[in-house]
Chain A
Amino acid sequence: MTMFLIKKADVGKIAQELSREYEVYGPMIEKSSGQTFFDRVEDLAEINLAAPIPSNPPKAVVFPQMERILAYEYDRTKNAVKMEPDYRVVPKALVGLRPCDLAGMLCLDRFFMGQEFVDEVYLNHRKKMFIVTNTCITPFKQCFCVCTDSGPAAKEGYDLNLTDLGGEFLVEVGSEKGAALAAKLGLAPAGDPHLALKNEKVDKSIAMFEDIAVDSKAWISRVMNRVTTGFAKEEVWEYIGDQCFECGACTFVCPSCSCFNIADVSNPECAGCADRLRTWDSCSYEGYSRMAGGHNPRKPVEDRRNKRFFCKLSYSQMKKYLRPGCVGCGRCAWVCPGDIGLPNVVTYVRREITR
């Protein structure tokens, strides 16, 4: 593997170079609130590699909350339909992606593009992308990627991977695109001692989870077995379901959740014209799983919750993603009005096992 070094003061050059060819996205701190967002960067100086894990999942770049994917016009007199797909094929660079979020995006890749049917809209967002990951040398309060094998350092899927070694960043190259950029920047080569230092930093970070990542502890492996085989007791799901407010937040914030809704919105100013919107959706909503004819296979709310956790924690889903669906970012615990983020659910299912 090729490795380079870049001085802390120079790390901004990576985004600068990328901005010539790509629309740049990265972590920034919103001033009025102190909240981190992973968003389109207008001022490159705003990228903050030390910012805590972004509050929003970077999946929004490839899978926006609401996007127009098609415009159509029906001409009644000619009985003709005009359809215009609306894909934004713009090269995008993600700078400073956290490892868990990259793992989430890889799950989405497998969902949207890795099966029989390839999702054109997603593909068009995702192709021509440059990814720069950022190793977490300290975890954050709600993190548990060590339990889901998705951090605190990225292993695959990046073009460049950055690790803060103190005065400089280690730059690991993960692709030809990455190598080309490193060459263009004329970076100094790094050697084994630097890699050893990185590994030390990662081990230290893992050791810090005990004290820092206190909000979330999710021992996932035992629970996976239970969830997959359906042995988790019904009362546990009921206990969880009673606490669900059906807000949809856990799905929206999850870097690997892919539920969406399609809505055609007619234009009151143009008869026969409509926009087709794709919006985030959630399996926690009653209307989501409803089938035509009034049969809803997942009517009671505890069943709908069950589906989400099944999605995140079962082996069968793992086969699809080639990894657990949960990447340990802890966001769902943050936003859940019912206090049933994934770590708590894991605790409840485990409690049942140990009992």
Chain B
Amino acid sequence: MLEKIETIKLEALLNLEAIDSARDLESWRVQHLGKKSPLTQILRGLAGLSIEERKAAGAAANELKRLLEESSARKGQAIRAKEMAAEAGKESIDISLPGRPYPAGRLHPITQTIEEICDIFVSLGFQVVEGPDVEWDYYNFEALNIPAEHPARDSMSSYWVDTPAGDRGKQMLRTHGTAISARVVEKMRPPIRTIEPARVYRYEATDATHLNIYHNIDGLAVDRGITMADLKGVLFEFVRRYFGENRKIRFRTDFFPFVEPGGEIAIDCGVCHGSGCRVCKDSGWLEILGCGMTHPEVLRRGGIDPEEYTSFAFGMGLERLPMLRYGIEDIRHFYNNDLRFLRQF
């Protein structure tokens, strides 16, 4: 009996090997597992055997039945997979056709730049602070060590607003974001770390690199123990994050009435890599921000004791940053609002 079972097994599995269609598999099932199949016959005939024979043959026959069922199931899966693959080859879609459109808007590149820079400074513990576009002369100039008839006013030609002067001077359109810092030292108490995006106005003709209305982003830190090393560390970190690790950075002395010592940070020219070109005016360097240790007088005017606290401040023209990063040749693109420009960012 066991021999017979073994013969059935060999034959059935050999036949199964050769099958490659669902129909053939079905007839194989009928032939080897159906009611009239030899295996079923054996299972049915078990009752007529002796107890010992029944035990051995029964186990073997049931084992074979399970094996054949599993094998046929596996075969069935393989055949279905093969058939679907064949099917897919017949039913083809043009995957290069455009997908069903979903409207996608974008943020203005200046918004993106403001947010990116603010995010960098927020991660360093700075808080975003804004201030008014229409500003008192006091916050724009006086509080920042730029009294009337100071030559620094000449380099920041101003728009004046047609309203009566108050005890903080005339109303004007702020010429730099530093006006917000002047408000911050008056309103907030140390420890202070602020980052200050601002729209600014200069009474100046516009050209490819100058606008009369553009943006600044300023920053301020006031606390005990702040040094110029902190200024350098924070700003170099910012430059590396915004422009990448590999840019060379130059930190030189410069003058602004509201800082002392004052400095300027430049990066190596991305166009000529330092050898000199039109973009960097042959210097190999691109100036990106002014900075320094906040002048004690500025702190004092805000009611902060410069003997107790030290402070640094910085400011930069905002449009210049994406211009340098992406090689945008004309600053006016930002405000022409041509969708063909805006949709690139």
Q: Do A and B bind each other?
A: no
Residues of A within 8 A of B (CB): none
